């Protein structure tokens, strides 16, 4: 107590934490976040967990509730293996896009780390989840936990009823198509678990109502008698199928002729989970950049106000600089761009452009340079962009020079790489566009669509892969995935690669 009265302004002292200091620190951080940075967040729920529970959370793709599947167990074993061998540390926190926003704090963290993590996750990420347009449009934070609860119990019930291996084979196939299970352009309907259950019951009721053993005994109709009608029906059905369709799982769920109602429901669950995570994958750089910028700003504000001791601040800064470390391309530690580093650098750069612009910045960013209100500018950027558009709009020549970016073109046909652009007058625009392009998930993932299906004939499902720049698919994985599709579809499946000129590059069948 004596120490505390001497440094009455400090939020905490030493590295141990308890719920009183956590709570006091949270309040101080909240004050800065809401009043200074003008963040707008969901209510927070902080959960203290042990390292083992963190591993659990890791392996179920970060959801607190998840249905059971062996692949999560595999990820658990892999993570555990790496962790035990000391090859990989665990994250300090994990945050879930839900309302209230759930943040997991590791019990091993020191108090300084808990403060950092609170600012990073409970305010940075939380604000981003609540305000970014992608999350607003595509996910429903208040419903996701309820939905996952429904999904978990539904799949558990299916396992009881139909056997674990039956359910597993459907999930295996669905997981293989997860990347192709999102609507990229169309907005999915809102989900609510109550409606979901209602719908499910209706569907089952309907199935039961229309079941009649008599259908089996209907005589075969005679050839030619109703040809015109068949033709018309075919047209109508093709139109109803809404082809081409990019969401393969959606297509299979709605149109596969061999699936039972419960199997369709499982496809739907996997599809909804994929859709829920889709915005996160499009905003890695922004999301982490936003959270890192927020924690950096808040921690500095608290330090300036004398509320964090120098020792704690040093620890925070050390951890911060580890997080935003970006090795150069020739560094053995280099693997790819660190989204934390790129995002944080861009946020800081925007702040600089708003407050201390150079004449170059005025040329490149006439609308924001020197407007002085970096807070509003950043809030606007966080709300209205995804990685691709954000980089395309805000990556400045100054930052390109600072990071010494260059474009390397890689043509599989050539025995060498070629440096296409570097950080000079001629290269800025090209580097910016290329980097933005590389963060466009739509081009980084194969563009595969359902092209045609002959429902009245042999029910052959034809998929089309739009090949860009000659980039084809990994064959082994492709064929295995096609076999999964075949399992869900029940009839022949072909995948055709079509290049920009419309000519066929390859054809694969299962």
Partner 1 sequence: MPNFIDRRLNPKDKSLGNRQRFLSRAREELKRVINDRVKTGKIADMDGEQSVPVPVKGTGEPSFRHAESSGKREHVLPGNKDFIPGDRLAKGGGGEGGGAGTGSPGFGDAEDDFRFVLSREEVLDLFFEDLELPDMVKLDLKEVVAYKPRRAGFATSGSPTNINVGRTMRNSYGRRLALRRPKQEELDDIEAEIAGLAAYPGPTAETLLRLAALREELEKLQRRRRLVAYVDPVDIRFNRFDRQPVPNANAVMFCLMDVSSSMGEREKDLAKRFFVLLHLFLKRRYERIDTVFIRHTHEAQEVDEETFFYSTQSGGTVVSTALEQMRRIIDQRYPSGRWNIYAAQASDGDNAATDSEYCVDFLNDELMRLCQYFAYVEIIDERESDIFRSPDHGTALWHAYREVSQVWPNFQMARIAKPGDIYPVFKRLFAKQPASPARS
Q: How far is the CB of 10 from partner 1 (least distance, A)?
A: 20
Residue 104 main-chain phi, psi, to 5 deg: -95, 125
Q: Which is nearer to partner 1, 223 or 410 (CB)?
A: 410
What the block records as the tokens of 256 is 């596969």
Q: Which is nearer to partner 1, 368 or 467 (CB)?
A: 467
The interaxial angle of helices 261-282 and 193-210, nearest 10 deg, is 150
Q: How far is the CB of 427 from partner 1 (least distance, A)?
A: 7
Q: CB of 462 within 8 A of CB of 452?
A: yes
Q: Which is nearer to partner 1, 190 or 426 (CB)?
A: 426
Q: Which is nearer to partner 1, 175 or 203 (CB)?
A: 175
The interaxial angle of helices 164-176 and 475-489, nearest 10 deg, is 130
Could you check whether the bond before residue 48 is cis, i.e. omega within 30 degrees of 0? no
Name the one residue in this structure whose structure tokens are 């995804």.
Answer: 386
Q: Which is nearer to partner 1, 180 or 377 (CB)?
A: 180
Q: How far is the CB of 281 from partner 1 (least distance, A)?
A: 9
- In this structure, the number of other CB atoms found within 10 A of the CB of residue 86 comes to 7
Q: Which is nearer to partner 1, 196 or 387 (CB)?
A: 387
Q: Which is nearer to partner 1, 137 or 445 (CB)?
A: 445
Q: How far is the CB of 212 from partner 1 (least distance, A)?
A: 38
Nearest to 351 by CA among 300, 317, 405, 425: 300
Q: CB of 483 within 8 A of CB of 451?
A: no
Q: Which is nearer to partner 1, 173 or 301 (CB)?
A: 173
- In this structure, the number of other CB atoms found within 10 A of the CB of residue 432 comes to 23
Integer Cα distance of 43 and 129 in angstroms: 12
How distant is the alpha carbon of residue 408 from its chain centre? 27
Integer Cα distance of 38 and 397 in angstroms: 28
Q: How far is the CB of 375 from partner 1 (least distance, A)?
A: 23
Q: How far is the CB of 420 from partner 1 (least distance, A)?
A: 6
Determine which helix (DSSP H) or strand (DSSP E) holds 199, and give its type and residue range. Answer: helix 193-210
For residue 213, give the DSSP letter: G
Residue 20: C-alpha distances to residues 16, 25, 26 (Å) = 11, 9, 10
Residue 260: C-alpha distances to residues 254, 263, 353 (Å) = 11, 5, 58
Q: Which is nearer to partner 1, 67 or 147 (CB)?
A: 67
Q: How far is the CB of 196 from partner 1 (least distance, A)?
A: 24
Q: How far is the CB of 88 from partner 1 (least distance, A)?
A: 11
Q: How far is the CB of 27 from partner 1 (least distance, A)?
A: 8
């Amino acid at each position: 107590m004596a120490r505390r009265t001497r440094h009455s302004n400090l939020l905490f002292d030493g590295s141990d934490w308890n719920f009183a200091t956590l709570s006091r620190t949270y309040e101080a951080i909240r004050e800065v976040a809401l009043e200074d940075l003008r963040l707008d967040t969901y209510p927070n729920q902080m959960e203290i967990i042990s390292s083992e529970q963190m591993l659990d959370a890791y392996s179920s793709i970060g959801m607190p509730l998840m249905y059971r599947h062996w692949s999560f167990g595999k990820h658990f074993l892999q993570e555990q293996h790496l962790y035990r061998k000391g090859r990989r540390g665990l994250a300090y926190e994990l945050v879930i896009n839900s309302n209230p926003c759930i943040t997991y704090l590791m019990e091993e963290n020191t108090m300084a780390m808990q403060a950092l993590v609170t600012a990073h996750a409970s305010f940075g990420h939380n604000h981003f989840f609540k305000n970014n347009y992608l999350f607003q449009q595509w996910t429903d934070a208040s419903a996701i936990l309820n939905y996952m609860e429904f999904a978990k119990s539904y799949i558990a019930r299916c396992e009881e009823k139909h056997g674990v291996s039956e359910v597993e084979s459907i999930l295996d196939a669905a997981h293989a198509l997860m990347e192709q299970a999102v609507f990229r352009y169309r907005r999915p309907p809102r989900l609510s678990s109550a409606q979901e259950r209602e719908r499910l019951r209706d569907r089952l009721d309907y199935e039961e109502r229309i079941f009649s053993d008599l259908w089996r005994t209907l005589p075969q109709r005679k050839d030619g008698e109703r040809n015109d009608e068949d033709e018309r029906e075919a047209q109508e059905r093709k139109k109803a199928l809404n082809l081409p369709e990019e969401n393969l799982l959606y297509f299979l769920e709605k149109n596969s002729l061999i699936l039972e109602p419960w199997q369709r429901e499982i496809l739907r669950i996997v599809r909804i989970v994929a859709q829920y995570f889709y915005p996160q994958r499009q905003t890695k750089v922004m999301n982490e950049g936003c959270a890192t910028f927020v924690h950096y700003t808040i921690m500095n504000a608290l330090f300036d106000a004398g509320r964090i001791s120098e020792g704690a601040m040093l620890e925070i800064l050390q951890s911060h600089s580890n997080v935003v470390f970006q090795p150069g391309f020739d560094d053995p530690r280099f693997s790819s761009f660190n989204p934390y580093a790129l995002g944080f650098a861009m946020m800081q750069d925007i702040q600089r452009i708003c407050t201390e612009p150079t004449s170059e910045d005025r040329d490149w960013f006439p609308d924001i340079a020197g407007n002085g209100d970096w807070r509003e500018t950043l809030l606007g950027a966080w709300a209205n962009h995804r990685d691709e558009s954000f980089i395309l709009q805000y990556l400045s020549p100054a930052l390109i020079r600072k990071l010494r970016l260059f474009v390397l073109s890689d043509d599989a046909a050539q025995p060498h790489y070629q440096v296409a652009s570097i950080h000079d007058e001629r290269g800025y625009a090209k580097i910016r566009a290329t980097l933005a392009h590389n963060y466009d998930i739509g081009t980084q993932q194969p563009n595969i669509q359902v092209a045609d299906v002959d429902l009245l004939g042999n029910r052959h499902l034809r998929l089309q892969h739009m090949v860009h720049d000659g980039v084809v698919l990994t064959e082994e994985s492709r064929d295995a995935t096609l076999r999964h599709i075949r399992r869900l579809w029940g009839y022949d499946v072909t995948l055709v690669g079509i290049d920009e000129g419309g000519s066929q590059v390859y054809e694969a069948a299962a």
